Amino acid sequence: MTAPKRRFVFCRLNTVGGWWLKIDTLECLLAWHEHHNGTYGRAFQNILYGKEFNSQTPDHGPNPKEMPLSQAIWYHAANRGISPIQSVMDISSTILSSQVDALRSGPIYVNDNGGWCPHLPAPVVAFADRDGFSFPSYGRSDIRVTKFPGGEHYYAHVGAVEVRDGDVIKWPTYQEAYEHALTFTNAEDGGKL
């Protein structure tokens, strides 16, 4: 049996945009949490091995992306007088419970950092259906600008995603189409995300 496709939506508010996973069933939410549990493990590694939390260690936490979650776990444990392991269980169950409640009213959306919301902060300008929970990540090499033979307009794609700006899907110049496509690519690769 093949895993269902997951819908990722791209929102843009002014010039800032990002990908969100749309979760609209309890099954998808539970599968996401099973997948995302590794994040809590990496955050806990920071607590064990990072000098930010452990004076016996000379190195920074090994997982910088999870450092904000590590700090939340640490402060939650300290404020409640519980162990960091109990803190992880508290935080993850509280988040799951809130997400289940929100899901009763409609889809919820999660970002690559684990943040979530019941309503998107900006209009959806693109979507990508993908296997699994790997968020779309595009670079300059994924940009494709085309023009129909004899046509006057240029169209842009990034990976399998058709580039849009509201209702606009075609541009008068190659450069304009390319610039709009850059808004879907990662900053590390010269893009605008």
Per-residue pLDDT tens over the stretch 111-137: 887 789 998 878 888 888 888 898 998
What CA–CA distances, in Å, run from 177 to 55, 142, 149, 152, 161? 52, 14, 17, 12, 13
pLDDT for the residue numbered 191: 58
Q: What is the separation of C-alpha 74 from the centre of its chain, rounded to a whole number of angstroms?
A: 24
The answer to whether the CB of 153 falls within 8 A of the CB of 147 is yes
| Rounded mean pLDDT, 21-36 | 91
**The pLDDT of residue 51:** 86
CA distance 162 to 126: 7
Placement of tokens 């008068």 in the chain: 172
- Confidence grade of residue 21 (pLDDT, cut at 50, 70, 90): very high
Q: Residue 187 — pLDDT band, cuts 50, 70, 90?
A: low
* Residue 123 burial (CB count, 10 A): 11
- pLDDT over 60 at 24, yes or no: yes
Output the six-digit token pair for 78.
């300290």
* pTM for the structure as a whole: 0.78
Q: Which amino acid is at 126?
A: A
Contacts of 65 (CB under 8 A, 6+ apart): 42, 113
How far is it, in rounded angstroms, from Cα 180 to Cα 165?
8
pLDDT value of position 193: 54
